[in-house]
Amino acid sequence: MNSPLLPTPKGAPALVTGVLAATLSFSSMAAPAITSVIVEDPESDDTTITVQGSGFGEKSQAAPVLFDQVDSSYENGTLNESYQTLTDGAKVPTTGQGQPSIWSAASSGAWGSFPPEITSQYPPRHNNSGKHYLMLGHNSTVGNPVAYGGNSGWETPVDNTQLYVSWWFRPKYAPQWYWRLAPVNLTGQFQEGETLNVGGLTKATFIGVDEEGQINLVFDGKPPRTAVLLGVEILGESSGATSTFPETFVGSGGPGYETPGSQKYIRIWEDPRGKEGIRFSWTQMHQTVGSVVNWSTAPVNGGEWNHLELEMDTQKGWVRLSVNARELTSFSIDPSLDYRGKWSPTVALMGLNGKVGRLQESYLDDIYIDNTLQRVMLGNAPTIDQVTLYENQRPVKWSDNQIELKLYQGAIENLDAAYLYVFDSSGLTNSEGYPLCMECKLPPEKIELIVD
């Protein structure tokens, strides 16, 4: 993984300044190096892997703060069995409602939100996953992990300055292209899933009509400028039904159109009220923290599982976001935004939080949260630049030169073609992965031989 290149000051040469910033900040740092990997009990469901090398750094707690796989969830390395008895369709419980749970908060169904559910009926992310979260509609979320700030009194540790969050997100429809339109001059009836020809300018898919009678559709990609769409005919290619694209924005009087707006994937807060300290959000079109607005559209694919990652260092003042094993963006934040002496940044909200996607369906799985950027990944390629899929592993012991972890295969089908990557506290990793040798067993213990 490349080091984050922070935004260039106004008036400075972009290329030179970026290189200098990277050189000054990271030239003295050596990436972790792996020298050996030993696999114990490779045929079991509890395979242990020992990674040896250097530059891993010390980690006060080997385990992540939370690894929520829904089927089984680990808080600070300890299994939480709250969800073991939950079956398909069960609403996600919350400790805020006095129930045993991984999360203190979740959308309740009030104010246009939808409560998240446990599901086992929809296609899982991988063959070893039995359950994941189902989030219906435009506003369905979980938040405030009990293991990191979700208890009464907002019990995050004080002044942890790093946060790493990884989660898998599958929206049925791409949030960045989801629109609502009032039916204007409607003839016939559109068919769910049919292709819409929008004025001969672009194509979309008809999703349905929501409870407010609005047409919900998703464009096949980035649509043309709104100005050229106003008043054009929308034709259902299968049904022959037609409607006219509204000429005014919703709320401006009369029937209108509604753009995707701001649809949050995640919100990070320090203050549980969201008033002081770090207040960060990542939407389908931008990221905001303090007065900084970073315009970067997340390439989230509808109908597919997408791996989202957030790395934050409030002391050094930067954020880096990745989607599907590729860096999306990195940018500076003001370190003074971090509220000293009271809280640490944590996940206040995760899922989909917006206004437009009334008929949206979203899924979450394998949520990983830690208070350091240190982690171990299993990737599907021999170099980090070639990796298109990787899975977070679950460390149980950690020192500067040795890590012991529990293997999590996830969606990586061929372990014989998988490689290990160790990330240090700066977010640096070995650029060349170390092959996971499933045939490499632990050496036998040394036998003490006593000769009389």
- Is residue 69 packed enough to be buried (19+ CB in 10 Å), middle (13-18) or exposed (0-12)? buried
Tell me how crowded residue 98 is: count the other CB atoms within 10 A of its CB. Answer: 8
Q: Are 313 and 324 in contact (CB under 8 A)?
A: no
- Rounded CA separation 350/347 (Å): 7
Tell me which fold the domain 67-173+263-373 belongs to. Jelly Rolls (2.60.120)
pLDDT for residue 446: 53
Q: Which among 192, 181, 173, 151 has a CA at the least distance from the CA of 343?
A: 151
Rounded to a whole number, what is the distance in angstroms from the first to the last CA of the chain? 57
pLDDT for residue 166: 98
> What is the mean pLDDT for each group of 10 consecutive residues in the chain (452 residues)?
41 32 48 95 89 97 96 94 89 89 90 91 89 96 91 76 98 97 97 98 98 96 96 98 96 84 95 90 95 92 97 97 96 94 94 95 97 97 96 98 97 94 97 85 53 56
Which sequence spans correspond to the domains of the chain? 35-59+375-440, 67-173+263-373, 183-245
pLDDT for residue 254: 72
Taking only the tens place, the pLDDT of each residue in 292-315 is 999 999 889 999 999 999 999 999
pLDDT for residue 273: 84
pLDDT for residue 27: 40
Strand pairing class (178-181; 215-219): antiparallel
pLDDT for residue 2: 44
The CATH classification of domain 35-59+375-440, taken from the options 3.30.70, 2.60.40, 3.30.2410, 3.30.1600? 2.60.40
Taking only the tens place, the pLDDT of each residue in 92-146 is 999 888 888 999 999 988 778 899 999 998 889 998 898 999 999 999 999 999 9
